[in-house]
């Protein structure tokens, strides 16, 4: 305890009182210029990488800048570079934690109130973007195979993530996780020694070129005879995060009964850490009687793997853009069996998918990112976007998952975003002659018409005349898609064109997402993709010509046109290229639909 106590207290004094540096006026001036440039670069990154003002505000709400640095409240001060230094602003929540941690040690704290000039060389800047520690786990597979320049570029990406408010924690793999088939496993003691050496080499390499400091934290967890883990000393993990350091965790633990070291997997370490952070957050909220403010939250789980994202047959074995685990986990696993992969590649992809599912079950609000070392190091260029940076800013993939694969402008990616996601329920009719009976389904408790009406009213900002609507569509419903607890959904009907009474076409009658969830973080994509999967052959819908959502529809349709003498635009999606006769049929359907909203 004496070995650890003093360095922690010294670090805390830095955290509370700032750092003192005996440096020249030229160095001070260059530091001010550098900070000003970094500040402007951060703000431009936020504004350039988010497509809309809504997305920028979503990021700022989740990773809030300090109030005096708010880029909307103080835009003139941003332009004039008249913003306070982030390092000198107090963070009350951290102070509360530290007061609790150091209870009874005030004499030591007072004796260290004036830090020595050299201490700042081993401590990082305090995280000041947000008063919640937003953890980002980063696991790099086959670390030993990556060149120093690639690792340094990954370090540069981590630095950018930290400037945007994330708190990275690097997780090393155990040697057993990277051995090839037929190779012998190392003994536990040799494996732990090897991991510690790899950790030290990685820290030395990144600290030599990156603008952050790191700290190895070996043996952070203690395991009892029942396999339950707990922090040996929680401050060993939290204080580095408070100071803006990057902790590096190696996959070994200490057995409580024997005090022996035991190697585990990187998955085990991430599980232990997530559970410990959740317990810590729960205790903080209980002590402070609050449920609104998180103390520590696991936000991102990043797997950097040379194979990249999970391959998709639909995307010609480039990666899935977004996997909604509650809907797609089993089907994606089956799909891996059909992909053109070697057994070793299939094993790695399956492992990444299964481990991500286990971690997101423990942290259901987090986002998983699986990408390659090369992509993880991308800088913001005209045609390339770093998916890790982009996801911190928007919590979505770099492209929409509902974009049709056969469009020329839809890129093939090697990054997969993984979400625990939203459960999707799809009700399909047996055919045009047997449409769904929504009234009967409501009576049987299969659906809730009241919730469905509320979803439509909230999404459209208008009141649906449910009686009029059901008179028109009931028993002609082709499909009903419900996301979550009626957070989003779609109603599709069978319609007959006046130009060809013998023909029946699937028509998207209502497509709705609760207003508070529109655009963030992609619920509309999940619903729309589920609809396209179930109506692949032929699907039409309409939208007002002045609807701002039309740009989104343009990207997802294979044909569209204005309906003459109306304020509607018709959209089509399907496998075949529509003929002129088809288009006339589709337009006649869209023109004939009667509105069902109350005036």
Instruction: Give the CATH number, domain containing residue 264.
Output: 3.40.1160.10
**Model confidence over 565-590: pLDDT tens digits?**
999 999 999 988 999 999 999 999 99
Q: What are phi and psi of 598, to 5 degrees?
A: -70, 140
Cα 524 to Cα 513: distance, rounded to the nearest angstrom:
7
Claim to verify: residue 333 and residue 189 sit in the same structural domain = no
The answer to whether residue 235 is domain-embedded is yes
The answer to whether residue 584 is domain-embedded is yes
Burial of 536 (0-12, 13-18, 19+ CB in 10 A): exposed
Q: Comparing 281 with 346, which gets the higher pLDDT?
A: 346
Question: According to the model, what pLDDT value does residue 39 have?
Answer: 57
CA dihedral of 343, 344, 348, 354, whole degrees rounded to 10: 40
Claim to verify: residue 498 and residue 542 sit in the same structural domain = yes
The answer to whether residue 234 is domain-embedded is yes
Claim to verify: residue 272 and residue 346 sit in the same structural domain = no
Residue-averaged pLDDT of the chain? 81
Q: Which of 101-115, 204-218, 473-487, 541-555 has the lowest mean pLDDT?
A: 101-115
Instruction: Give the CATH number, domain containing residue 470.
Output: 3.40.630.30
Claim to verify: residue 325 and residue 461 sit in the same structural domain = no
Work out the pLDDT band at 69, boundaries 50, 70, 90: very low
Those residues whose C-beta lies under 8 Å from the C-beta of residue 485, and which sit 6 or more positions away, are: 451
Domain boundary among 383, 402, 419: 419
| Average pLDDT of the segment spanning 525-533 | 92
| Average pLDDT of the segment spanning 378-404 | 80
The answer to whether residue 8 is domain-embedded is no
The answer to whether residue 211 is domain-embedded is yes
Claim to verify: residue 279 and residue 318 sit in the same structural domain = no
The answer to whether residue 278 is domain-embedded is yes
Domain boundary among 360, 393, 419: 419
Claim to verify: residue 282 and residue 366 sit in the same structural domain = no
Range of the domain at 325: 305-419
Claim to verify: residue 444 and residue 469 sit in the same structural domain = yes
Domain boundary among 419, 437, 454: 419
Structural contact between residues 389 and 49, judged by C-beta atoms closer than 8 angstroms: yes
Cα 535 to Cα 532: distance, rounded to the nearest angstrom:
5
Q: What are phi and psi of 397, to 5 degrees?
A: -70, 170
Specify the number of domains making up the chain.
3
Q: Comparing 20 with 500, which gets the higher pLDDT?
A: 500
Question: DSSP readout, 476-512?
Answer: -EEEEEEETTTTEEEEEEEE--TT-TT--EEEEEEEE
The answer to whether residue 21 is domain-embedded is no
Claim to verify: residue 535 and residue 501 sit in the same structural domain = yes
Q: Comparing 12 with 241, which gets the higher pLDDT?
A: 241
Q: Is the pLDDT of residue 89 over 60?
A: no
The answer to whether residue 50 is domain-embedded is no
Work out the pLDDT band at 477, boundaries 50, 70, 90: very high
Claim to verify: residue 369 and residue 469 sit in the same structural domain = no
Q: Comparing 535 with 229, which gets the higher pLDDT?
A: 535
Claim to verify: residue 454 and residue 389 sit in the same structural domain = no
**Model confidence over 422-436: pLDDT tens digits?**
999 999 999 999 999
Q: Is the pLDDT of residue 154 over 60?
A: yes
**Nearest C-alpha neighbor of 37 from the set 165, 156, 206, 163:** 163
Instruction: Check the CA dihedral 424-447-570-543 and report its sign.
Output: negative
Claim to verify: residue 181 and residue 244 sit in the same structural domain = yes
Strands 252-255 and 221-223: parallel
Claim to verify: residue 480 and residue 513 sit in the same structural domain = yes
């Amino acid at each position: 305890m004496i070995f650890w106590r003093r360095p922690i207290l010294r670090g805390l004094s830095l955290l509370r009182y700032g750092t003192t540096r005996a440096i020249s006026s030229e160095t001070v001036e260059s530091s001010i210029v550098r900070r000003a440039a970094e500040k402007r670069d951060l703000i431009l990154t936020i504004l350039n990488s988010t497509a809309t003002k809504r997305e920028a505000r979503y990021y700022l709400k989740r990773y809030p800048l300090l109030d005096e640095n708010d880029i909307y409240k103080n835009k003139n001060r941003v332009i004039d570079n008249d913003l306070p230094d982030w390092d000198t602003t107090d963070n009350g929540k951290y102070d509360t934690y530290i007061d609790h941690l150091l209870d009874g040690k005030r004499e030591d704290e007072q004796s260290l109130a004036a830090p020595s000039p050299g201490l700042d060389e081993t401590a990082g800047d305090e995280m000041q973007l947000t008063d919640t520690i937003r953890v980002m786990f980063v696991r790099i597979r086959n670390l030993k195979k990556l060149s120093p320049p690639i690792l340094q570029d990954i370090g540069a990406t981590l630095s950018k993530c930290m400037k945007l408010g994330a708190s990275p924690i690097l997780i090393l793999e155990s040697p057993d996780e990277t051995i090839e088939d037929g190779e012998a496993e190392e003994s536990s003691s040799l494996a732990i020694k090897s991991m510690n050496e790899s950790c030290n080499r990685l820290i030395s390499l990144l600290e030599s070129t990156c603008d952050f400091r790191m700290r190895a934290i070996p043996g952070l967890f203690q395991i009892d005879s029942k396999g339950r883990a707990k922090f040996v000393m929680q401050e060993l993990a939290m204080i580095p995060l408070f100071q803006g350091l990057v902790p590096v965790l190696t996959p070994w633990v200490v057995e409580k009964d024997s005090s022996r070291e035991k190697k585990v997997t990187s998955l085990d370490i991430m599980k232990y850490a997530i559970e410990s952070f959740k317990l810590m957050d729960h205790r903080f909220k209980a002590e402070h009687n609050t449920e609104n403010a998180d103390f520590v939250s696991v936000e991102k789980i990043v797997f950097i793997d040379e194979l990249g994202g999970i391959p998709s047959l639909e995307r010609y074995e480039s990666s899935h853009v977004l996997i909604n685990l509650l809907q797609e986990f089993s089907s994606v696993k089956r799909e891996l069996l059909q992909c053109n992969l070697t057994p070793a590649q299939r094993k790695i992809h399956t492992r990444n998918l299964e481990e991500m599912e286990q971690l997101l079950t423990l942290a259901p609000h987090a986002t998983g990112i699986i990408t390659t070392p090369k992509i993880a190091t991308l800088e913001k260029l005209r045609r390339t976007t770093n998916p890790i940076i982009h996801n911190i800013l928007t919590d979505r993939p770099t492209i929409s998952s509902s974009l049709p694969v056969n469009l020329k402008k839809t890129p093939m990616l090697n990054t997969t975003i993984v979400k625990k996601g939203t459960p999707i329920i799809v009700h399909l009719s047996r055919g045009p002659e047997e449409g769904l009976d929504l009234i009967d389904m409501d009576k049987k408790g299969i659906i809730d018409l009241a919730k469905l009406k509320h979803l439509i009213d909230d999404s459209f900002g208008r009141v649906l005349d449910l009686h009029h609507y059901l008179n028109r569509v009931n028993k002609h419903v082709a499909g009903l898609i419900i996301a979550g607890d009626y957070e989003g959904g779609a109603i599709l009907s069978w319609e007959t064109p006046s130009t060809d009474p013998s023909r029946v076409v699937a028509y998207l009658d209502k497509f709705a997402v609760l207003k508070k969830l529109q655009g963030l973080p992609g619920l509309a994509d999940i619903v729309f993709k589920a609809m396209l999967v179930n109506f692949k052959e032929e699907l039409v819908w309409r939208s007002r010509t002045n609807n701002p959502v039309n740009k989104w529809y343009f990207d997802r349709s294979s044909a569209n046109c204005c309906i003459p003498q109306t304020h509607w635009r018709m959209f089509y999606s399907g496998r075949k290229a529509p003929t002129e006769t088809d288009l006339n049929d589709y337009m006649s359907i869209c023109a004939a639909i009667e509105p069902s909203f109350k005036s």
